[in-house]
Amino acid sequence: MMVKARAKINLSLDVLGTRADGYHEILTVMQPLELHDVLEAGPLEGDIRVESSHPEVPSGPGNIVYRAADLIRREFRCGAGARIFIHKKIPVAAGLAGGSADAAAALRALNRLWALNAAEEELFRLGEAIGSDVPFCLLGRTALAGGRGELLTPLPSFSGFGVVLVKPPFGVSTARIYRLYDSLPAVPGPDTRAVVKAVENGDLKALAGLMGNALERVTASLHPEIMEIKKALVAAGAAGAMMSGSGPAVFGLCAGPDEARFVASRLNLPGCQVIATRTV
Ligand code: ATP
């Protein structure tokens, strides 16, 4: 069985504070993309085997997909096994939720493969235990996310817009970026309510002017290239550009997929991976 695991971008991301459990309280508008990994899942006698096509993505228990499989199997006291191969297309450690998307896709695939009949709420509960972005990946549509990212309010579809992703030749650790965030003086975050309005209205121009990511200046303080990439995307014709999540991937928004391909073709960013895709 083949399942898609879609990448996401954050159209806005605000950090509201720290919590007693060590996580940060965030408020973010999340958007799924056409860009996806493919998970190939099939039966295996008693055992869970996870492998991937990407050298930086661990096989076996180190993979978030293995943890998802192990968790749902234990929760349902299921004795069956599975082999899962991850065809990796989403850049790794980029702020595009590649691992979370794979985990969500694995929960859905194994629910079917093992005929567990898990209710949606059950899958969301398991997803939340695996990672903050997993519930959004299970939802699979534009949403406002609060809490650690798991409290979801679906928004109207914002599909069909062009997206140019630029992944610089390094990754960042989300935990490190949040630690650094805490050590910097606070500055006002994006106007999330206005971003939500622009998304609801399908107003790309308004959105481009309102987008903001509270983590961007943090990651950019370590990697000033982020700001250069943003400038390059806008100079190449994107309506707006911003870092996704804790980075370092930067996206440019365009009117449609054709415009995104055109913008991508005009970029000259040595060492960076450039992908033209679209919102879904
Ligand atoms: P987020 O946007 O949710 O913070 P991310 O895009 O920054 O996620 P991931 O691509 O999910 O980051 O990967 C983070 C780390 O997790 C990688 O360095 C990788 O070693 C490890 N990892 C474990 N399983 C996976 C997986 N299935 N796909 C990608 N990375 C994985």
Ligand 1 centroid, distance to 96 Cα (angstroms):
9
255 CA from centroid of ligand 1 (Å): 29
What pLDDT score does 65 carry? 98
For ligand 1, atom 29, the nearest C-alpha belongs to 99
Ligand 1 atom at shortest distance from the alpha carbon of 174:
4
Q: How far is the CA of 101 from the centre of ligand 1 (A)?
A: 9
186 band by pLDDT with thresholds 50, 70 and 90? confident
Ligand 1 centroid–CA 199 distance in Å is 27
Structure confidence by residue, pLDDT tens digits, 102-159: 999 999 999 999 999 999 999 999 999 999 999 999 999 999 999 999 999 999 999 9
What is the position in ligand 1's atom list of the atom closest to the CA of 131? 3
Q: Which residues are marked as active site?
A: 8, 133
Give pLDDT, residue 46. 87
Q: What is the pTM of this model?
A: 0.96
Instruction: Please work out whether the CB of residue 98 comes within 6 Å of at least one atom of ligand 1.
Output: yes
Domain extents for the chain? 2-154, 162-278
Residue 22 has pLDDT above 90, yes or no: no
The closest-lying atom of ligand 1 relative to the alpha carbon of residue 102 is 27
The CATH code for residues 2-154 is: 3.30.230.10
Q: Is 252 in the pocket of ligand 1 (CB under 6 A)?
A: no
- What is the residue with the minimal CA distance to atom 14 of ligand 1? 93
pLDDT 10s digits, 55-74: 999 999 999 999 999 999 99
Nearest CA to ligand 1 atom 19: 57
Is there an atom of ligand 1 within 6 Å of 38 CB? no
Largest CA distance in the chain: 56
Q: Which CATH number describes the domain made up of 162-278? A: 3.30.70.890
Is the shortest distance between the CB of 95 and ligand 1 below 6 Å? yes
Distance in Å, CA 230 to ligand 1 centroid:
23
Atom 27, ligand 1: residue with shortest CA distance: 99
For residue 248, say if its preceding peptide bond is cis, omega within 30 degrees of 0.
Answer: yes
Residues 234-241: what's their mean pLDDT?
98
pLDDT at 232 over 90: yes
Q: Is any ligand 1 atom within 6 A of the Cβ of residue 63?
A: yes
pLDDT band at 31 (very low <50, low <70, confident <90, very high): very high
Give residue 202 CA to ligand 1 midpoint distance, Å.
Answer: 30
| Protein residue with least CA distance to atom 17, ligand 1 | 93
In short, whether 64's Cβ falls inside 6 Å of ligand 1 is yes
Q: Whose CA is nearest to atom 1 of ligand 1?
A: 97
- The answer to whether the CB of 97 is under 6 A from ligand 1 is yes
